[in-house]
Amino acid sequence: MDRRRFLQGVTATLSMAALARMRAFATAPADTRKAATGRAGLTPAQWQVIAAVQAHLLPSEPEAPGAKDANALEYLMFMLGETHTDPMERALIRDGVERLERIVRKQGVDTFTRLDAAGRETALRTLEKQPEGRTWIIMLLDYLFEALLADPVYGSNPGGIGWKWLEFHPGYRQPPPDKRFFLL
Amino acid sequence: MNTDYDICVIGSGAGGGPIAWRLAEAGYSVLVLEKGPWFREADLCKDELACCRRPTYIPDQREEPRVVETEDDDGNWRARSTRRSGWNFWNGTCVGGATNFMSGYFHRLKPVDFHLRSTFGPIEGANVVDWPISYDELEPYYTLVEREVGISGRIQPHPHLEPRSTPNLPYPPLREHRLAAHVDRACHALGLQPFPTPRAILPHPAMGRSGCAYNGGLCGSSGCSTGAKGSSRAALLDRAVTTRRCEIRPHSMVKRLLSGPDGKVSAVEYFDAKGRLQRVDAQIYVVACQAIESARLLLRSPGPRHPHGLANGSGQVGRNLLFAGGGAGSGRLLYRRFSGKEADALREFGTFINRSLQEWYIIDDSQFGPKSKGGTIDFVHRHPAPIARAHHQIEGEHGLLWGKPLKRRLEQHFREGPYIKIEAFCDWLPVADCFVGLDPTVKDKWGLPVARIRTGQHVQNLRVGWYLAEKGAEVLRKMGAENVVAFAASTPPTNLVAGTCRFGNDPATSVLDHECRAHEAENLFVSDGSFMPTGGSVPYTWTIYANAFRIADAIDRQLHQMT
């Protein structure tokens, strides 16, 4: 699915508060915006939550790479910080982490990373029942697929690890660093 | 007359390239204004993020949206901006236009396509008319395209093969994937006559371009890194520039065409790369911005003799918008059903299937109804785009799939055997509810009203689409394919657009004359797919190229007379 079309569906399901935050964010002067977004406006603890969610959604196995093998966290950090990225995406990612953490606290634990595998599954399945939560999980899955299957020039899929796993052949010519999409 | 250029061409895709090259070759000075950037071969890579997941080759919809109207279940038209929707109908905004990103499945129209109305009679609810020219008039130009753009393949007789002035295509076929033999075998068992799909791809170096690098299905949506694909840029504009009589100005967004009291176009105003308004004049103006943008440009260019938009006295500019109607389907051959050697052959990834069927170009089947216009079936690789394909694997029976179950699904999807896809093309019948206008409120980043597109369609498109898709599915089943599905979608495929400035002999019902000159402005031509009153049951690109070469000859004659 095309990302913009997907995001359009997302806005329909966002809470009013989140929408208000996004609007404030989108209209902030450029310098404020830059300051607010350092690493997309997520705290180190929130990034740890995302790393744990990524590992749960795409675990590493000896014969089949997972999120960590694909450098998925670094990829997401890079893409969210990239200037072409729609500010709405950053807001959506933060909103989802906050939703997940609220669910986790209701489970009696202070943060997602302290849950065991079963607890993480329960929390994510609960989040999935919220339309906004489901959308967030799909966004994370899409970023995982990008990290696993985009050209290694973007810093993920090291050595074509995802391509080799799924028997994909990249074709001629692969992009050199100066031809990455945001430099064209 | 002293003008800046002899010819000013607006847009550089399949409609612009032939004009620029032919007339520069003939000694005229040509200016090409292109709103997008000028990507060179070195810029064009096989990169799924660039081609398909970020707006690299199309405008950022936050800056240049469109408004698309779709019909809801109650028959009301619902308008939605493309600002946040991926369904934006742009197909490549750069030098060479959408031809950079085409797959290059090339078919000619058939003689019958030029007179559908007199052959099959009127269809209720559709504005089907005959063309003002015949196939014979376009045939020499189809042949010219074969040679100059470079079309490869092998002509094989079949019941609906169109008449040709040469026995074969000038370039031999591209290397074929093992699946082609499977398609052939299944078709022959069903009594059908498949033929190799002509491709606008060079199999070997020629005309200063390199041959195909063999990326299998990756070409579609991606630019070609070798110049083998016959884009307007690689095949024509690069050569036009070497004449030194053709200048291409990228990042030039035309604001409007100005016209004088005599109705003729007098100048073009455009925004340059820095947003400054510039003006240029020429003796002949050619609009080739793809059907939607060409109509939009004429509509926003009123003048003293053109109160409702340039060349729009008939009210026909923007009307009868066409897409490529049709159906689709897919199936899959599993490696485990074949011997080791055959399975290895099926694993090969770089070559092409390149098979087509036109058995039902005319449907003569009492179960379907009266004899009707049908269409073409192409057998192609499923696009390898792994990110998009992975995305489609996330729905499970009880919610989203993730974790190890998702990984096993991905392995199953990607590793157990090749998919084969059917693309069926039929006429998108011209109807009153499929048109382009100017949106009354939404503006682009230059402050110009954006295109508002209504996407109504005739039920016959779906009937024929289903019929063809099901015929293709029979072949897949005969091949032993599994998970065979076939369908026709009610939403228009947006990669092929035509209509909006149909040509004809009557100025009251058409925008352009038989040479694609505006009835109401003798120095204005429209050379993209806008001229087509009906689209034929094939991808349009070959026909647009051929017709643009025909228009170039008409312009040459006109300029000759003027001097």
pLDDT tens digits, A60-105: 999 999 999 999 999 999 999 887 788 888 999 999 999 999 999 9
Point out the residue among A145, A163, A171 whose CB comes nearest to the CB of B218.
A171
Residue closest to B20 by CA, chosen among B217, B286, B253:
B286
B73, part of any domain: yes
pLDDT digits 0-9 by tens, B73-104: 899 999 999 987 778 899 999 999 999 999 99
Whether chain B has a CB inside 8 Å of the CB on A181: the answer is yes
Question: A1, A2, A121, A165: which to substitute to probe chain B, counting the most B Cβ within 10 Å?
Answer: A2
pLDDT of residue A7: 46
> Dmax of chain A from CA atoms?
52
Q: Domain with B100 in it: what CATH number? A: 3.50.50.60
Residue closest to A170 by CA, chosen among B189, B49, B215, B190:
B215
* CB contacts, 8 Å: B42 with chain A: 179
Nearest chain B residue to A55 by CA distance is B403
pLDDT of residue B1: 65
pLDDT digits 0-9 by tens, A17-57: 333 333 333 333 344 334 334 557 899 999 999 999 999 99
Per-residue model confidence as pLDDT tens for chain B (563 residues): 689 999 999 999 999 999 999 999 999 999 999 999 999 999 999 999 999 999 999 999 999 999 999 999 899 999 999 987 778 899 999 999 999 999 999 999 999 999 999 999 999 999 999 999 999 999 999 999 999 999 999 999 999 999 999 999 999 999 999 999 999 999 999 999 999 999 999 999 999 999 999 997 899 999 999 999 999 999 999 999 999 999 999 999 999 999 999 999 999 999 999 999 999 999 999 999 999 999 999 999 999 999 999 999 999 999 999 999 899 999 999 999 999 999 999 999 999 999 999 999 999 999 999 999 999 999 999 999 999 999 999 999 999 999 999 999 999 999 999 999 999 999 999 999 999 999 999 999 999 999 999 999 999 999 999 999 999 999 999 999 999 999 998 788 888 999 999 999 999 999 999 999 999 999 999 999 999 999 999 999 999 999 999 999 999 999 999 87
Nearest-Cα distance to chain B for A105, in Å, is 23
pLDDT of residue B498: 98
Question: What's the CA gap between A147 and A141, in Å, rounded?
Answer: 10
Range of the domain at B305: 5-382+418-562
Whether chain B has a CB inside 8 Å of the CB on A58: the answer is yes
Point out the residue among B87, B214, B391 whose CB comes nearest to the CB of A145.
B391
| Stated pTM of the model | 0.94
A68, part of any domain: yes
Q: Which two tokens stand for residue B499?
A: 């209509």
pLDDT digits 0-9 by tens, B428-482: 999 999 999 999 999 999 999 999 999 999 999 999 999 999 999 999 999 999 9
- Taking residues A7-21, what's their average pLDDT? 40
**Which residue reads 């669910």 in tokens?**
A103
A25, part of any domain: no
Provide the chain A residues 30-49 that lie in CB contact (below 8 A) with chain B. Answer: none
Beta B434-443 vs B449-455: how paired, if at all?
antiparallel
User: How far is CA B10 from its chain centroid?
Assistant: 18
pLDDT digits 0-9 by tens, B204-246: 999 999 999 999 789 999 999 999 999 999 999 999 999 999 9
B534, part of any domain: yes
User: Between chains, do A167 and B216 touch, taking CB under 8 Å as contact?
Assistant: no
B413, part of any domain: no
A39, part of any domain: no
Could you give the number of structural domains in chain A? 1
B182, part of any domain: yes
Evaluate if residue A12 carries a pLDDT over 90: no
Whether chain B has a CB inside 8 Å of the CB on A177: the answer is no
* CB contacts, 8 Å: B82 with chain A: 4
User: Between chains, do A7 and B84 touch, taking CB under 8 Å as contact?
Assistant: yes
Whether chain B has a CB inside 8 Å of the CB on A128: the answer is yes
Whether chain B has a CB inside 8 Å of the CB on A120: the answer is no
Range of the domain at A134: 3-20+44-183
Residue closest to B422 by CA, chosen among B351, B359, B356:
B356
Nearest-Cα distance to chain B for A60, in Å, is 9
User: Between chains, do B402 and A124 touch, taking CB under 8 Å as contact?
Assistant: yes
pLDDT of residue B85: 76
pLDDT digits 0-9 by tens, B482-507: 999 999 987 888 889 999 999 999 99
* CB contacts, 8 Å: B39 with chain A: 184
pLDDT of residue B2: 85
Cβ atoms within 10 A of the Cβ of B38, count?
16
Asked if residue B313 lies in contact with residue B306, where contact means CB atoms within 8 angstroms, the answer is yes
Could you give the number of structural domains in chain B? 1
* CB contacts, 8 Å: B381 with chain A: none
Residue closest to A169 by CA, chosen among B231, B482, B415, B510:
B415
Nearest-Cα distance to chain B for A107, in Å, is 21
Residue closest to A78 by CA, chosen among A100, A99, A47:
A47
Q: Which two tokens stand for residue B439?
A: 């949106």
B150, part of any domain: yes
Point out the residue among B55, B88, B402 whose CB comes nearest to the CB of A57.
B402
Evaluate if residue A146 carries a pLDDT over 60: yes
Residue closest to B424 by CA, chosen among B472, B462, B496:
B472
* CB contacts, 8 Å: A66 with chain B: 407
B323, part of any domain: yes
Asked if residue B506 lies in contact with residue B104, where contact means CB atoms within 8 angstroms, the answer is no
* CB contacts, 8 Å: A180 with chain B: 47, 49-50
Mean residue pLDDT across chain B: 96
Question: A140, A172, A180, A182: which to substitute to probe chain B, counting the most B Cβ within 10 Å?
Answer: A172
User: How far is CA B302 from its chain centroid?
Assistant: 28
Q: Which two tokens stand for residue A158?
A: 């090291």
User: Between chains, do B390 and A84 touch, taking CB under 8 Å as contact?
Assistant: no
B136, part of any domain: yes
